[in-house]
Amino acid sequence: MSRMFKFVRRTWNPVVGCTHNCTYSCWARRMAKRQKHRCQLCYEFVPHLHEERLNVFVPRRPTLCFVCDMGDLFCDGVPDEWIERVLDVARRCHNVIFLFLTKNPARYFDFLDMFPENSILGCTIETNRSYAVSLAPPVGERYIAMRDLKWPRKFIAVEPILDFDWVFLDWLKKIKPIMVSVGYNNYTKRFPEPDIEKTLILIKELKKFSDVEVKTIRGNSDGRP
C-alpha cells in the first residue's frame, strides 16, 4: 500500500527514479536510498526500468493501484519505450483502477490513446507561485496542461503545499479534479508555507467541487481540520 494516499490499495513500481530533484524532502527518494544493498540505481534515484516487475502484475481482485509511487514515470529521464511497456501491461488488467502522478503532465498528451479507460491522471501542483524548489516544469505550465487535458478522472496533489495567491483556487476549479490531496511537508517547515487558517479555507472551498484528502496539517491540536 502507498504511504502517500490512504485510498490507494496497491503500488506497482516497474520504473523507479526521477530527474526533478525537488529540494523539499521526497519520501520516495528516502525510501529508495534504503535499497542500496539491492539496487544501486534505486539508491541513486536514477530513472531505471525493472524488467522483472513488468509481467508479474496480475491482481486477482479489483483494486486501486498507484503506478510508480517511487519515482515519476513521465519525467524527462524516462524513455517513451518504458512508458509504453508499462501502459501495455496496465491495459490488460481490467479489474484495476490505475493512479498516475507526475510533475510533467504535458507528457500525458503523448500517450492518451494508450491509458486504460479506468485510469486516474494526476499532477502535483504545490502553489501558483514560482518558487525554485525543483527542476520540474513550472507550476503554470503544469496547470495549463491539466486544465486542457481531456480526461474524465483527474487528480491534483497539493503537496507539499506552498504559500499561494487565491488565483490558485481558480486554477484547481478549472482543472476539474475528482479528488485533491492537501498537506504540508512532512520533514521540515523551512519552505514558504501558508498559515493554517489560509490552508483550512482552501480545503473548505475545494470540498465544494471535489473530494479532498487531508494529509499533514500543522497548526491545531489534532493536526487535522
The number of helices, as runs of H, and strands, as runs of E, in the chain is 6, 9
Q: What stretch of H or E contains 11?
A: strand 10-12
Q: Where are the domains of the chain?
A: 10-214
C-alpha cell at 214: 487531508
In this structure, are residues 32 and 17 in contact, taking their beta carbons and an 8 Å threshold?
yes
**pLDDT of res. 38:** 64
**pLDDT of res. 28:** 59
Phi then psi for residue 100, to 5 deg, are -110, 145
Q: What is the pLDDT along the chain (225 residues), one digit of tens a residue?
A: 445 566 777 889 999 988 888 776 666 556 666 665 567 666 666 898 999 888 777 677 778 999 999 899 999 999 999 999 999 999 998 889 999 999 999 999 999 999 999 999 999 999 999 998 888 999 999 999 999 999 999 999 999 999 999 999 999 999 999 999 999 987 666 789 999 999 999 999 999 999 999 998 875 433 444
Q: How many Å apart are CA 77 and CA 31, to the nearest integer? A: 20
Q: How many Å apart are CA 20 and CA 18, to the nearest integer? A: 6
Beta strand 63-67 with 48-49 is unpaired
Q: How many Å apart are CA 172 and CA 147, to the nearest integer? A: 8
**pLDDT of res. 141:** 98
Alpha-carbon separation of residue 175 from 32, 147, 150, 203 (angstroms): 32, 4, 10, 16
**pLDDT of res. 4:** 58
In this structure, are residues 101 and 122 in contact, taking their beta carbons and an 8 Å threshold?
yes
**pLDDT of res. 130:** 94
**pLDDT of res. 61:** 78
Alpha-carbon separation of residue 31 from 115, 131, 164, 187 (angstroms): 28, 25, 29, 14
Any residues with CB less than 8 A from the CB of 37 and at least 6 apart, and which? Answer: none
3-state DSSP call for residue 203? helix
Range 10-214 has CATH code 3.20.20.70: yes
Any residues with CB less than 8 A from the CB of 77 and at least 6 apart, and which? Answer: 17, 18, 19, 46, 47
CA angle 25, 30, 35 (to 5 degrees): 165
**pLDDT of res. 72:** 95
